[in-house]
Chains A and B, each alone.
Chain A
Amino acid sequence: MARWLARRLLLAALTVAIAITLAFFLMRLAPGDPLSRLGDERPMPAAELAGLRARYGLDQPLLSQYATFVVAATGGDFGRSIHYGRPVREIILDRLPASVLLGGGALLLTMLGGALLGAMQALRRDSPLDRTAGVVSLAAYATPSFWLGLVLAWLVGIEWRLLPVGGFRDPLLAPDAPWMTQVVDLLRHLALPLLTLTVVSIGAVMRYQRTAMLEALAQPFVAAARARGLSERRIRWRHALRTSLFPIVTLLGLWLPVLAAGSVFVESVFAWPGLGSLAAEAVGTRDYPLLMGVTLLVAVLVVLGGLLADLAYAALDPRVRPA
């Protein structure tokens, strides 16, 4: 167990290192740099620009910039955002709660809802319910998240005025409002982005789960369990469901980074102050330090997702438990 964990962690560190190295160089290969747009609004003397470049180390050779970044990053310092002028770590930590709330919520709803709906489809295979769910899940899967986000924002937010269309909290809400009011306000803001993100991801989970559950129901041990006189409920929801969860555990691992880092589109549509919209801004402004910070976080999440999936596998299936 200890050896297995050590190997996994080593592999994880290596993955993260490679990912951020790639990101570092690719970013700088793209045209433009953080300061190239500065002259857009007012002409800037060349000397002033050169000074700024020197200040952010952009005049250094690429490799020495890389070395500086690695040394600082291993010490937990990701530098200052060029755009915001604040430490990258602070900005990311500011944005993290909103992202975790939205991404984590969507992940939870997607996995639980998708597993349940897919399993129910399998149990009522070829019924009208199964067919309808199949069509709906495919449609949801094929819907672009920004489009659905815009439609929902327009319909629910603007036409019906049921929910706020953007942001994280009501700007008019007093900071010392009762906590219940604050929670309700937060949930009202969360509803539309969460719904959007869940709808576009749940289709895939439903499809995987339906197939997996059908496969599990066809296993000989299910017939054997029936022959033993166990109740149908027990056979379905204990024997079959438990063994049908392996595929979506893989999905869980793959989606953790996507959903936890927030969907760039959904966060942008709803002005949700998470990491996704932050990343989008950082790309737009070529804010190298900020972009590297976000990249590193995503890389860590990817690795964490894989690790989590492995642990979930081990919890579900005794055959893959490290001895």
Chain B
Amino acid sequence: MSPLLEVRDLRVTFPDRATGGVHPVDGVSFELARGETLALVGESGCGKSLSALALLRLVPPPGRIASGSAVVLDGTDVLALDDKSLRKVRGRRIAMIFQDPMTSLNPVFTVGDQITEVVHAHFKVPKQEARDRALKLLNEVGIPDAASRLDAYPHQLSGGMRQRVMIAIALAGEPELLIADEPTTALDVTVQAQILELLDQLRATHGMSMLLITHDLGIVAGRADRVAVMYAGQIVEQASTAALFAKPSHPYTQGLFASVPRLTGPVGHLMPIPGTVPPPSAWPSGCRFRTRCPIVHARSAEMPPMLQVGPEHSMRCWLAEDQQ
């Protein structure tokens, strides 16, 4: 069966005075099957959000998606759609939940208004029907006393409740794919688990696919079917969750595991990675991780392609060749 979403060689360009142009997202490819959850993992600044925004053609100007990129949703090339057709994808087929529920809701409109406007944008339904749907959604995302919350303003809700509202808005278009961009980083730890649990359960009941973006490998296990690890605008390792947790292979992935405090998986010589992701203009030639890599392969001056590590497990590191 063909995948729901196929992303090929996605590249986002920003003009840059010094270099003429940078690519914070630089050749990202992945597939997402129906009902599947893919986790996109990486440190801050590696291009996760920008990749997600590019799927909906929401890259903030002056950034743009470079030609040669392809985002194919169920056979349709999203990048080639006209504005009207694009609006029928945004929110309707692919919905997105942003990191900060505080700023992603308009402070001057009620929760009910912000849900019903999405219902009206995508379905021809009378007002009362839209309101009924909004109420049902609020109940579904676990907001207590939902009927009275319809008329509440965002500032009257707690952070966790606001994120639940965001999820309700995302569900209002009955999407096939839900992108959750660090949906819990702005929330208390106790609330985080509840929200992730809710997302998981909704994905199952609505039969959606999910792209779960996070910098925390700790929340991936048990939620994602597959994991793509991102570094400096590229996917550097991709595998089933089980395979990745059994055998994290890229030195960067190993470093990420080492910085997960409550990890029960492989421990040993792993060390958290010092430093941070350099800005796109400062990426080294060849292997982008070589400036921080504890190993530094002899061929690191050459950019490694994605190399097979095992069945459905690949990474962008020359070490893969040595291991075969």
Contacts and interface: CB of A to CB of B under 8 A. Distances in A.
Task: Please indicate whether A and B come from the same complex rather than being unrelated chains.
Answer: yes
Interface of A: 219-221, 223-232, 234, 239, 242-243, 316-319
B98 A224 contact: yes
B108 A229 contact: no
Interface in B213-252: none
B320 to A, nearest CB: 36
13 contacts: A223-B60, A223-B98, A223-B104, A226-B58, A227-B56, A227-B91, A227-B95, A227-B96, A228-B121, A229-B122, A231-B121, A239-B109, A243-B108
B112 interface: no
Contacts of A225: 106
Contacts of A219: 103
A227 to B, nearest CB: 4
Contact of A242 (B88, B108, B172, B173): B108
Given A221-B105, A228-B90, A239-B109, 15 more contacts: A221-B103, A221-B106, A224-B104, A225-B106, A227-B96, A228-B118, A228-B170, A229-B91, A229-B121, A231-B121, A243-B107, A316-B108, A318-B107, A318-B153, A319-B107
B106 A319 contact: no
B121 A317 contact: no
Nearest to B179: A227
Interface in B77-136: 83, 87-92, 95-96, 98, 100, 103-109, 117-118, 121-122
B169 interface: yes
Contacts of A230: 87, 91, 117-118, 121
B155 interface: yes
A242 B90 CA distance: 23
B5 to A, nearest CB: 16
B78 to A, nearest CB: 13
Contacts of A316: 108
A234 B172 CA distance: 17
B173 A220 contact: no
Determine the main DSSP class of B at the interface with A: loop
Nearest to A232: B83
Contacts of B100: 220
Contact of A220 (B88, B89, B103): B103
Interface of B: 53, 56, 58, 60, 83, 87-92, 95-96, 98, 100, 103-109, 117-118, 121-122, 153, 155, 169-170, 172-173
Contacts of B103: 219-221
A227 B121 CA distance: 12
A3 B148 CA distance: 26
Given A223-B60, A318-B153, A228 B169 contact: yes
Nearest to B84: A231
Nearest to A319: B155
A243 B154 CA distance: 14
**7 cross-chain pairs, A with B, having the tightest CB-CB distances, nearest first:** A229-B91, A229-B90, A228-B91, A220-B103, A224-B104, A318-B153, A227-B96
A247 to B, nearest CB: 15
B181 to A, nearest CB: 10
Contact of B117 (A234, A242, A318): A234
Contacts of B153: 318-319
Nearest to B90: A229
A319 to B, nearest CB: 5
Contact of A229 (B60, B89, B155): B89
Contact of A226 (B90, B105, B155): B90
A142 to B, nearest CB: 32
A228 B155 contact: no
A221 B60 CA distance: 13
Contacts of B107: 221, 243, 317-319
B290 to A, nearest CB: 34
Contacts of B122: 229
Nearest to A216: B106
A229 B84 CA distance: 9
A227 B83 CA distance: 13
B108 A318 contact: yes
A318 B53 CA distance: 30
A321 to B, nearest CB: 9
Contacts of A221: 103-107
A227 B86 CA distance: 10
A229 B173 contact: yes
Contacts of B90: 226-229
Given A223-B60, A224-B98, A318-B155, A229 B87 contact: yes
Nearest to A218: B60
A44 B46 CA distance: 91
A229 B117 contact: no
B237 to A, nearest CB: 28
A230 B106 CA distance: 13
A227 B107 CA distance: 17
A219 B87 CA distance: 20
A224 B52 CA distance: 13
Nearest to B172: A228
A229 B106 contact: no
Nearest to A228: B91
A10 B170 CA distance: 47
B174 to A, nearest CB: 12
Given A228-B91, A319-B155, A223 B173 contact: no
A228 B173 contact: yes
A106 B172 CA distance: 45
A234 B169 CA distance: 16
Nearest to A224: B104
